[in-house]
Amino acid sequence: MTNVLPSLRVDGKRAVVTGAGSGIGRAVAIALSEAGADVALSELPDRLDSLQEVCEAIELNGQKAVPLPLALPQTDSIDTFVADAIEGLGGIDILVNNAGVNIPADAFDLTEQDWDQVQDVNLKGLFFLSQRCGRHMRDHGGGRIVNMASINGVVGYYKRAAYCSSKAGVVNLTRVLALEWAEHDINVNAIGPTFILTPLTQATFDDPVMREDLLKRIPKGRVGQPEDIVGAVVFLASDAAAMITGHTLLVDGGWTAI
Ligand SMILES: NC(=O)c1ccc[n+]([C@@H]2O[C@H](COP(=O)([O-])OP(=O)(O)OC[C@H]3O[C@@H](n4cnc5c(N)ncnc54)[C@H](O)[C@@H]3O)[C@@H](O)[C@H]2O)c1
């Protein structure tokens, strides 16, 4: 019988997930292994311990887990990480650029140092890791890149001049890489999550004024959990999304439908 439906699985693929010891990255790494991929996971060098439990979950799914240090945007760290991921997995078919930071501050008070830190991790680091993995994919028949942008890449929000700018950069960088790399069969897409409850956002959610404001903006009536994001990532990494590239898929609970 002909199989008419493209697969939503990623069996036999080799995936890289950055910032996988926590929050969304952790859930994405485990979901990709459930969908059939081996996974190389990154964490900051002083947070490598946080990958242990994630690796155990991946191995319980019958897949290989390769925990590795990565400190964005340092290019020597990126180069070592990519070389070790290729060696550990045998190649890279899928890159999920998940690692990111937010340093909330009023625009009047935002320091140059904090501005640079947010841009460096969220945009510069994401680009140079994509470049290194993209070169490997180009030389080995193609691949998939999924960038963790944000609802804040398409709408503004208070105290997020640096963060919103960096994520808007990710949304448009996604289009550029999709255009340039389509001929190499490298699809580049992004996800725009709504407010997801993770260590990055817990303090904001604990502020009653912020919590009320956020909930007002999400027609679904709740904030997201990391597990709300994983279906979109696996889909964009799968054969079912073969003709989707340059797109930002908002997983926003209806925020932008208003
Ligand atoms: N939580 C949300 O509401 C939300 C919404 C939209 C987008 N996002 C994005 O999703 C991604 C994951 O966010 P999260 O909420 O799970 O946050 P998190 O803080 O739980 O995880 C961030 C991960 O990035 C890693 N990281 C931080 N700085 C790094 C650096 N310099 N080099 C390498 N790794 C570094 C951290 O160690 C951590 O593993 C981020 O890109 C974030 O901007 C989050």
Q: Which of 171, 135, 137 is nearest to 151 (CA)?
A: 171
Q: Domains in the chain, ordered, with CATH?
A: 14-253 (3.40.50.720)
**Which residues, including other chains, have CB under 8 Å from residue 69's CB and lie 6 or more apart?**
42, 43, 44, 45, 48, 77, 81
Whose C-alpha lies nearest to ligand 1, atom 8?
150
Question: What is the reported pLDDT for 16?
Answer: 99
| Mean of pLDDT over the chain | 97
pLDDT in the model for residue 2 = 60
Phi, psi of 77 (to 5 degrees): -65, -40
The stretch 154-164 carries a mean pLDDT of 97
- The finding on whether 199 has its CB within 6 A of some atom of ligand 1 is yes
Q: Among 101, 163, 205, 214, name the best residue to mutate to test ligand 1's pocket (greatest count of ligand atoms within 8 A of Cβ).
A: 101
Per-residue pLDDT tens over the stretch 29-57: 999 999 999 999 999 999 999 999 999 99
Ligand 1 atom having least distance to the Cα of 191: 7
Active site residues: 163
Q: Is the CB of 19 under 6 A from ligand 1?
A: yes
Average the pLDDT over 186-193 and give the result: 99
Average pLDDT over residues 13-28: 98
Q: pLDDT-derived band of residue 233, with 50, 70 and 90 as boundaries?
A: very high
- Look at residue 3 in the predicted model and tell me its pLDDT: 75
pLDDT of residue 248: 98
The percent of residues in the chain predicted with pLDDT above 90, rounded, is 96
pLDDT at 5: 87
**What is the CB-side half-sphere exposure of residue 73 using CA atoms within 13 A?**
17
CA proximity to 99, closest of 64, 129, 136 = 129
Q: What is the mean pLDDT of residues 105-131?
A: 98
Q: Give the H or E element holding residue 250.
A: strand 248-251
Mutate to test the pocket of ligand 1, among 78, 191, 200, 217 (most ligand atoms within 8 A of CB): 200
pTM of the model: 0.98
